[in-house]
Structure 1
């Protein structure tokens, strides 16, 4: 699942973990991304220390074997983690799905956790690039799911996603226990407070949020990339 930050990505990971037949992996390339770019992120040193900073080793691990003998492996990937220097050939061995969210909502949420966000930080350009790459090597339009559709109709949207993936939908995907999870990344204390308070997919979102001064241009820049993928959403 290829997503930018603040896209409902952790809640969707929780939903798949709640199936019972699915292992999950939270942002496998995060440490490698921070090591390669030197970018300053909250808990940067802890993330690098806790993860695998060699992108080639992460890519190899993404191809299996599946952990704990599970039938499905849900990998929550951040699009901006795939810096140009990283070999993306491993993606040919995966089923790649793209999770999108309107950039105004992403920027409003992201800015509460990390100020001075840039277009590169929120992953829309990288997501569109990866989408085109997957379309190129598969010859098919990749699956796209919009977080707004999940919020509006969790059962229906997750049901359609599972059907397209060739796996059964199970009701347990709709609920989970509140609190941290053993598979959370080490960065969870900074980023996951809202999802830790949740017990399922939240109710539908309302109007687009008002943005602090200076963020509107980022939304305008990101919007065409979002719209390109949104045209193909489930």
Structure 2
């Protein structure tokens, strides 16, 4: 099944502290779309060293499927609506066969690493590259290109400067019609939120749409400068593919 089959499966591969949750809320407003929040989270926690410092890890592991192959099967067999939007974190893609990506549209979502690390470090103080997905995103692009699997890249700042224009381009790339309802939602959580929402989604729960882009002026943590230097050249390469 190719990306233009009757059911459109949209796989979002985002870095953390991005606009991925807002994008999920946007797609959830469509009558033809069902959304799912980070179905591979427990798989990731069960196969990485991240569990001790991820908020709510024990609850995630208790309540979600840990076997990534079963999660992939679920994503490929789900058929409840014509469009299925799976919000995923790129760094969750460990110990998996990636060939399933050929059965949907892959949306890579990236953000300026300086702003992302500043935000992320307020919850996880000392992240490493494996926590934030930049290297994995670049590896993913090479894989998708090699396999000739469909993909697009969104860049958070560019998106927030023109949400409707970017959504229209994204919908076109995914083979679906843009819906104006994607621009607004009611404040508060949605039923599809993951059990980790209380730790990460406060700003989205206060929102009713995509927030205007605001430049961050906070001091950058010195201990994260080496990681920032590692991320920046990857981010610049990712930017070259953005819509």
TM-score under structure 2 normalisation? 0.91
Query: Structure 2, unaligned stretches of length 5 or more?
Result: 1-11
Equivalent position SS for 1:113: coil
2:102 pairs, out of 68, 72, 92, with: 92
Q: State whether structure 2 residue 40 is matched by structure 1 residue 29.
A: yes
Q: 1:45 to 1:207 in 2, by over 3 A?
A: closer
Equivalent residue, structure 2, for 1:52: 65
Equivalent residue, structure 1, for 2:157: 148
Q: Residue deviations 1:53-95, cap 9 Å, x none? A: 011100111112323xx11001111111111x22212112121
Give RMSD over aligned pairs.
1.4
Equivalent residue, structure 2, for 1:135: 145
Query: Structure 1, unaligned stretches of length 5 or more?
Result: none
Q: Are the equivalent residues in 2 in contact too, given 1:19–1:170 (CA < 8 A)?
A: yes
Quote how far apart the aligned CAs of 1:38 are.
Answer: 4.2
TM-score under structure 1 normalisation? 0.94
* Structure 2 Cα separation of the partners of residues 120 and 152 of structure 1: 29
Q: Residue deviations 1:186-211, cap 9 Å, x none? A: 00011111111111000022256531
Q: Are the equivalent residues in 1 in contact too, given 2:43–2:68 (CA < 8 A)?
A: yes
Q: Residue deviations 1:20-79, cap 9 Å, x none? A: 211011111100111122422111100111110011100111112323xx1100111111
2:167 pairs, out of 139, 149, 158, with: 158
* Structure 2 Cα separation of the partners of residues 22 and 151 of structure 1: 22
Equivalent position SS for 2:165: helix
* Structure 1 Cα separation of the partners of residues 205 and 41 of structure 2: 20
Equivalent residue, structure 2, for 1:193: 202
* Structure 2 Cα separation of the partners of residues 90 and 14 of structure 1: 24
Equivalent residue, structure 2, for 1:116: 126
Q: 1:129 to 1:34 in 2, by over 3 A?
A: same
* Structure 2 Cα separation of the partners of residues 20 and 108 of structure 1: 36
2:223 pairs, out of 214, 217, 223, with: 214
* Structure 2 Cα separation of the partners of residues 123 and 65 of structure 1: 26
